Structure 1
Amino acid sequence: MISQSSILGLKAAGFNQMTDIQSKSLPFSLKGRDVLGAARTGSGKTLAFLIPVLEILYRRKWSKADGLGALIISPTRELALQIFDVLRKIGPHHLFSAGLVIGGKNVKEEKERISRMNILVATPGRLLQHLDQAVNFDTSNLQLLILDEADRLLDMGFSKTVNAILQHLPKSRQTLLFSATQTQSVNDLARLSLQTPEYVGVQEEDSSVATPKNLEHHYTVCELNEKLDLLFSFIRTHLFVKTLVFLSSCKQVRFVYETFRKLQPGVPLLHIHGKQKQPTRMEVYARFLSSPASVCFATDVAARGLDFKQVDWVLQVDAPEDAETYIHRVGRTARYTNKGQGLLFLLPSEEDGMVKALKEKQVVTQKIKIKDSRTLSVQNQLQKFCFEDPEVKYLGQKAFVSYLKSIYLQKDKSIFKLEEMPLAKFAESLGLPGAPKIKFINKEIAQRKKNANRELKSSTSKSATEQSSESSGSDDEDQPVRTKYDKMFERKNQLILTDHYTKLVDHEEDGLNFGGPGGDDDDDFVTVKRVNHALDDHVPLPVIQDQDLSKRKLKMGQSKKAMLKYHGNPTKVVFDEDGLGHSIYEFGKVADGAEAELKMKEAGKKFAEAERERLKQIDVEDREVEKEKRREKKRKRKAREREEMGLEASAGPGDADDDGYVSPEFDLPTSDEEDMEKEAAPKRWGPVPVKRSRLEETAGKFGRSLEDDEALALRLLRGES
């Protein structure tokens, strides 16, 4: 029996009847036993572990002061959010505190609140981060650990993270592990985390069917360049249903979403993929849940565990990697008692292999044919979008490459055949002017050609050696050793240097003649026999027969020590203008050196004279600039004085400035001019002569003194003659 608080929460959330997995697992989990549960998608696994979480903590009278009591680990953020929403719906009558810890949110806020949580729903990466960094996060009193979608956890590469999390948790705990499929990795994880578990739902009554009974499976065969036309035609004819469309890569999802949104099919369009930020993914997920009719383009990030309400159709435009992925994708519809339909698009090269793989998983699909009269073509519109918008063209190129890369990386080559893909037509269907270059395809083709050539050469060489051994009956030890130089001169695929090498080498000893016509090579300019220049006759090595050397002996002959010992220091010959050769370090004659020295001195004198003249000219220009600066400064000073005094007067001849104004200070020299005069005046010893004013000099010229002029001025003022 469960508590009244849980019953009220279940009724308020609309859960009135238990499913098979719930009725089989709850008796064991409520007794505190470890449970390993397996059931197909949509069978109610979420309530199978949420009810024990609430009931066990309720029976043990868990409170906020007791700390963390239950930990639920989910592979994806969307699934963790879904579990947390269900927990809030069925647990409002309990007094437990619950929290959600997923990536994409503020870590500091989570660290502050995580210590106050009784039930925690988390993704593996962020949970391990808090276990390593949060000081107040204590898991020593943990009662229950739940691993949801364990197969998905391991498929996404979280095996090391989950093992690290298990090291932080106490061993005296109850563990519930739920998975849609039982694989070897899941069994290994169960052995590490569970203690004498109870296997629930592994052998179901209706084990012959891997999907719900109220789910209809269909597939259609089309060419690669017709997929988008069929997809758009389906959306235009199903405007009042909720459709989930699966594509193989994030870039394909973005391209289809952006282009179809421009085409305006008449139904809301959404898209969700792993490259989106967490707030965006949560917003799209919530909008698709609440929308009565919409189309959501998604990758396999939405193929596991997510409970989309009232999904009518699941379209798989790109074939899944295996039958299990198909089951998880199509399991987003026909949840619980609802009905649903699935449609799979297959290429002609994928039909036989995929249908066979689905039959092995007890999935029976029905082939349908779509009428050409009801199919709309969007190729011209996509070409227009790519021509007008470079970003759409860029997305199309990335979608093209990402799809082919997904086909290239598939394990089952009997289904996915990259060499049979019509690349040019596929690029045209995306609106691209041509097929982009793909590096990994070119490498694959080159590698295949290389391997084919190697196999052909090895087969021909083996047959030739077998024939020669049968005819001669001699051992291989009697044959001479061939060096890399022999192989180089025997190459026939060097189109540029073949003629050059054949003219330089005398092949008479080998029975070959590449000379002029008729086998006569007397017309050749140079004919050189093939010799080994690395060693000389006086090298103290064993007698070499037919100039066939091993690599070790060639390296010995070419070493620096051997070259210096037997050939001396290296020399280099250079040619002068007259065509005469001499050593690069050769000393010249004494007379030539003296003449060169005189020429060098004359050139130095000419250079010094030219620099002297240039500096003189620069000095004259600098003086003119300095004079102009002084004049400008004087003009500005006079203008400032005129503004201050407010006087206007006409100047006499010789005393006026450029603007006709006479200074009341009798045009005294500026401070800059006085400094110039002081610098120009010669320095003398003795007293400095007193400089007379202009009035004194004028009075001296007419034979009067200054006192006489003053007395005359007083008499004139008094009216005396």
Structure 2
Amino acid sequence: MSTPGPSRSKNQKAQKPLKSAKLKRQTEKEKLQALEQHALEFEPPADLRAFSDLPISDHTKKGLKKAFFVNMTDIQAQSIPVSLKGKDVLGSARTGSGKTLAFLIPVLEILYRRKWGPADGLGALIISPTRELAVQIFEVLRSIGGYHSFSAGLIIGGKNLKDERERLSRMNILVATPGRLLQHMDQTFGFESDNLQMLVLDEADRILDMGFSRTLSALLQHLPKSRQTLLFSATQTNSVKDLARLSLKDPVAIGIDAVDDPSSSTTTAVPKNLEQHYLVCTLDQKLSMLWSFIKSHLQSKIIVFLSSCKQVRYVFETFCKLHPGTPLIQLHGKQKQMARLSTYDKFAHSKHGVLFATDIAARGLDFPSVDWVLQVDAPEDAATYVHRVGRTARYDSKGKGLLFLMPSEEEGIKTQDIQNQLQNLCFQDPEIKYLGQRAFVSYLRSVHLHKDKSIFKVSELPIEKFADALGLPGAPKIKFLNKEVAKQRKNMDRTAEAAKAAALKTVDSGSSDGAEPSDSEDEDGTESSLKTSNVGSHYSYFFSLFIDIVIDMKQTVRTKYDRMFGRKNQNILSEHYTKLVEKQPDDDEEDFITLKRADHQLPDDPLNEVQMDNLSKRKQKLSKAKRTVLLNAPVRNKLVFDQEGNAHEAHNVADAEEWVKEKGGMTGVAEEGLKYAEAERGKMNLADIVDRQEAKEKKKEKKRKRKDRERAQTVSFALWLICLILKSDSQNDSEGTAVASSFSDDGYVSPEFDLPSQESEEDEEEFARPTKRSKLDDHSQSAGTLHDDEELALRLLRR
């Protein structure tokens, strides 16, 4: 029986850890409550700039310090205190102002104050329009959230769907693109968002512009209503405001340096440190201007925006072959996911270089130290312009933007014309020519699809000059452009018919006036003759105008470029093109380009009379002489050689009737047939004898090889046995015992030598090497063949 004293002592020792853990939990709970109370009562001062002054946890402060984030931007100083109070935020700020941290810090703090853990499921969802921006947000989240215990995941298109499904249920924070997120919500079993605390929509206007409005509406239906929503964008459009009304509850609107245009439904904000420039040049001089600019800024970091993927491919490939002297990179939507991420990372860590990109790089991407943003093709609206130039002058750094505008004049810049070089590249490299054709068509299509037809007119573009500027031997045939031309011709026909009808009407009216002289006509007919002469002049004027219009419509001039385009390189489709760039099919490609090969004769054909007129007299004489030789050459039959080496004409068949007569009628023919059959039968019998003899020889050879193999195995075994005996003799001589076994600790006798297996070649070599070579020296010198080895083995066995 134990005494009560020791019992109380043990209980006290067991209760001490429990009390300390309980006290620790109580202290942590009080700390979180105090932090939340501080955040709710926090009123930011006017000079708030340091992250350390915010009512946030020590884990977040350590992460910010480790990532070298010290001072806040304007959007951060105004939105973070509001978000920490749990309110919805509608934020509008210029690009590069730090919107990413403005929503990542509240996400970490809200989940931390609510003690969010792995068992609680998805707590925060961040939706981004593009994959590159989602990757960038995820990297910033990892850099500042390293001291928290939350699990975070990245869901974007182009990655393994199965791997994402396995990890999805364990994530507390998700950064995703709309399409892949909706796919998981509809198809992934066990993916729940019922406990979602925060929803972040980054670049909301871009999400809507990219056609994700229906996807976003479907996503919102999966999410709970009791959540906090943060919506950020560089521009505020009517669609974004409509989305805010649907998804936000009493939001706090926060805008930085916003400029409201009463005549527009868009609110834009450009960076403060941005220098904006524009350049006026013609369409056919754009590439030369771009080349000259790059050559004069080799140590700068430049982003060049073009309107389509095919233009990016063409300009990138051609400029790479021209070697400007600075690194060139391309980024567009036709690239695979890994290539896009690699391109983004490469340009982000480059000190200088040129990135050719579509608008996929215009939203949210943070490329450090970009000096220039060049917009070779005009943006579709003001919002796109703002996002493009926002890739430079980010935060407190400076940057410059240059916009290429048409038309007409080129002043103040000395350019280096590269049109001839591009033309040579297109002639030498079919892939470059094909890329140029695709770039030509895609640019015209982008102009054709512009909303404002009063400014962007495809029919008024210098198409031929633009094709020459790309190095193409003539403009490709484009369906929608042909429709525009046909429409203009119809209008011209109607104008001509109207003019002709007016002229005929004038003539008819003039003749009627001449038939019935007026009352005021003089006796000598002076006034009547004046009227008739005026009618004749009007008729001749309208008739000449009509003739000129018809001539202009019917007359076509084929230049050397047209002939070259009709004859050269018309079948170089995807076979060569896919080796150069990744080709993905476009559904609407057939509506915009049609390439046809012109019917023509070969230029080297001596019978080509069309080209005879273009040759010199000397070459015409030579061609006529060559043609005469070819036309008057005698017809020669082809000679073949039989097995005996005798030459005879190919397909030389004798006359059947004469052959029958020579053989004495049908009876002779039957005898010839029997003779032929007998001769063939003899040949077959002889061939059978030869085949049987060859088969017999092969069988004998196979049997001989098998016996040699068996004999070699016997000899090998005999040699191994001899080596075993010799080794045993040597041990008896040295140790004075015939025992050739070893004992284990438990008394089990284990043999010292095991029989070698056929698979182990090293063991055979080991046992085949005798320990005492003196007994076999005489025999090993003379045993050179297989029979000698057999004799040696038998002789040793007899011993």
TM-score range, shorter chain: 0.5 to 0.7
> Cα offset for 1:614?
11
Match of 1:267 among 293, 301, 326: 326
Distance 1:439 1:118, change over 3 A: same
Distance in 1 (CA, whole Å) between partners of 2:240 and 2:698 is: 98
Distance in 2 (CA, whole Å) between partners of 1:431 and 1:187 is: 46
Distance in 2 (CA, whole Å) between partners of 1:179 and 1:113 is: 30
> Cα offset for 1:630?
2.0
Paired residues of 2:260 and 2:268 also in contact (CA < 8 A): yes
Q: Which residue of 2 aligns with 1:545?
A: none
Instruction: Tell me if 1:89 matches 2:146.
Output: no
> Cα offset for 1:613?
13
Q: Which residue of 2 aligns with 1:377?
A: 417
Q: Which residue of 2 aligns with 1:659?
A: none
> Cα offset for 1:157?
0.2
Q: Which residue of 2 aligns with 1:404?
A: 444
Q: For 1:658-673, what aligned pairs fall within 5 Å after superposition?
A: none
> Cα offset for 1:169?
1.3
Distance in 2 (CA, whole Å) between partners of 1:273 and 1:109 is: 26
Q: Which residue of 1 aligns with 2:204?
A: 150
Q: Which residue of 2 aligns with 1:625?
A: 680
> Cα offset for 1:391?
0.4
Match of 1:187 among 207, 223, 241: 241
> Cα offset for 1:619?
8.3
> Cα offset for 1:218?
0.7
Distance 1:80 1:630, change over 3 A: same
Distance 1:460 1:323, change over 3 A: farther
Distance 1:613 1:174, change over 3 A: farther
Match of 1:327 among 369, 375, 386: 386
> Cα offset for 1:636?
5.3
Distance in 1 (CA, whole Å) between partners of 2:496 and 2:432 is: 46
Q: For 1:574-589, what aligned pairs fall within 5 Å after superposition?
A: none
SS of the aligned residue for 2:400 comes to strand
Q: Which residue of 1 aligns with 2:115?
A: 61
Cα deviations across residues 50-84 of structure 1 (Å, max 9, x unaligned)? 11100000100111221110000000001101111
Instruction: Tell me if 1:295 matches 2:354.
Output: yes
Paired residues of 1:393 and 1:432 also in contact (CA < 8 A): yes
Distance 1:618 1:417, change over 3 A: farther
> Cα offset for 1:413?
2.3
Cα deviations across residues 566-605 of structure 1 (Å, max 9, x unaligned)? xxxxxxxxxxxxxxxxxxxxxxxxxxxxxxxxxxxxxxxx
SS of the aligned residue for 1:218 comes to strand
Distance in 1 (CA, whole Å) between partners of 2:147 and 2:87 is: 25
Distance in 1 (CA, whole Å) between partners of 2:124 and 2:500 is: 70
Distance in 2 (CA, whole Å) between partners of 1:140 and 1:100 is: 19
Q: How high is the sequence identity, in percent, across the aligned residues?
A: 63
Paired residues of 2:235 and 2:269 also in contact (CA < 8 A): no
Paired residues of 1:24 and 1:201 also in contact (CA < 8 A): no
Stretches of structure 1 lacking an aligned partner (at least 5 in a row): 352-367, 466-610, 646-721
Cα deviations across residues 152-193 of structure 1 (Å, max 9, x unaligned)? 001000011111111211111111111222222112212222
Distance in 1 (CA, whole Å) between partners of 2:205 and 2:118 is: 33
Cα deviations across residues 313-338 of structure 1 (Å, max 9, x unaligned)? 00111111122211111111000100
Q: Specify the code of the residue in structure 2 equivalent to 1:446.
A: A
Instruction: Tell me if 1:200 matches 2:259.
Output: no
Cα deviations across residues 597-639 of structure 1 (Å, max 9, x unaligned)? xxxxxxxxxxxxxx99999998886665334312332455578
Instruction: Tell me if 1:32 matches 2:86.
Output: yes
Q: Which residue of 2 aligns with 1:4?
A: 58
Distance in 2 (CA, whole Å) between partners of 1:181 and 1:14 is: 28
Distance in 1 (CA, whole Å) between partners of 2:156 and 2:668 is: 80
SS of the aligned residue for 1:270 comes to strand
Q: Specify the code of the residue in structure 2 equivalent to 1:143.
A: Q
Distance 1:387 1:628, change over 3 A: same
Cα deviations across residues 496-528 of structure 1 (Å, max 9, x unaligned)? xxxxxxxxxxxxxxxxxxxxxxxxxxxxxxxxx
Distance in 2 (CA, whole Å) between partners of 1:644 and 1:140 is: 80
Q: Which residue of 2 aligns with 1:313?
A: 372
> Cα offset for 1:456?
8.7
Deviates more, 1:622-631 or 1:424-433: 622-631
Distance 1:628 1:6, change over 3 A: same
Distance 1:179 1:628, change over 3 A: same
Paired residues of 2:234 and 2:269 also in contact (CA < 8 A): no
Instruction: Tell me if 1:137 matches 2:177.
Output: no
In terms of fraction of residues, the more helix-rich structure is 2
Q: Which residue of 1 aligns with 2:152?
A: 98
> Cα offset for 1:196?
2.2
SS of the aligned residue for 1:116 comes to coil
> Cα offset for 1:213?
2.2
Q: Which residue of 2 aligns with 1:681?
A: none
Instruction: Tell me if 1:254 matches 2:313.
Output: yes
Distance in 2 (CA, whole Å) between partners of 1:205 and 1:290 is: 34
Q: For 1:234-245, what aligned pairs fall within 5 Å after superposition?
A: 234-245=293-304
Distance 1:614 1:419, change over 3 A: farther
SS of the aligned residue for 1:392 comes to helix
TM-score by length of 2: 0.56
Cα deviations across residues 214-254 of structure 1 (Å, max 9, x unaligned)? 11111111111111111111111111111001111111111
SS of the aligned residue for 2:452 comes to coil
Q: Which residue of 1 aligns with 2:476?
A: 436
Q: For 1:196-595, what aligned pairs fall within 5 Å after superposition?
A: 196-201=250-255, 204=258, 210-348=269-407, 369-372=411-414, 375-450=415-490
Distance in 2 (CA, whole Å) between partners of 1:441 and 1:84 is: 45
Q: Specify the code of the residue in structure 1 equivalent to 2:82.
A: F
Distance 1:626 1:234, change over 3 A: same
> Cα offset for 1:435?
1.4
Q: Which residue of 1 aligns with 2:101?
A: 47
Distance 1:68 1:616, change over 3 A: farther
> Cα offset for 1:455?
8.8
Distance in 2 (CA, whole Å) between partners of 1:96 and 1:330 is: 35
Paired residues of 1:220 and 1:370 also in contact (CA < 8 A): no
> Cα offset for 1:415?
2.8
Match of 2:132 among 71, 78, 84: 78
Distance in 2 (CA, whole Å) between partners of 1:312 and 1:644 is: 84
Q: Specify the code of the residue in structure 2 equivalent to 1:127.
A: L
Distance 1:330 1:203, change over 3 A: closer
Give the greater-gyration-radius structure (CA): 1
Distance 1:427 1:63, change over 3 A: same
Deviates more, 1:231-240 or 1:5-14: 5-14
Q: Specify the code of the residue in structure 1 equivalent to 2:324.
A: P
Q: Specify the code of the residue in structure 2 equivalent to 1:35.
A: V
Q: Which residue of 1 aligns with 2:216?
A: 162
SS of the aligned residue for 2:169 comes to helix
Q: Specify the code of the residue in structure 1 equivalent to 2:147.
A: H
The number of residues matched between the two structures is: 483
Q: Which residue of 2 aligns with 1:172?
A: 226
Distance 1:618 1:109, change over 3 A: farther
Distance 1:429 1:618, change over 3 A: farther
Paired residues of 2:258 and 2:268 also in contact (CA < 8 A): no
Distance in 1 (CA, whole Å) between partners of 2:298 and 2:157 is: 35
Distance 1:633 1:137, change over 3 A: same
Match of 2:68 among 14, 23, 29: 14
Distance in 2 (CA, whole Å) between partners of 1:616 and 1:33 is: 114
Distance in 1 (CA, whole Å) between partners of 2:668 and 2:128 is: 87
Distance 1:18 1:619, change over 3 A: farther
Distance 1:640 1:86, change over 3 A: closer
SS of the aligned residue for 1:437 comes to coil
SS of the aligned residue for 1:230 comes to helix
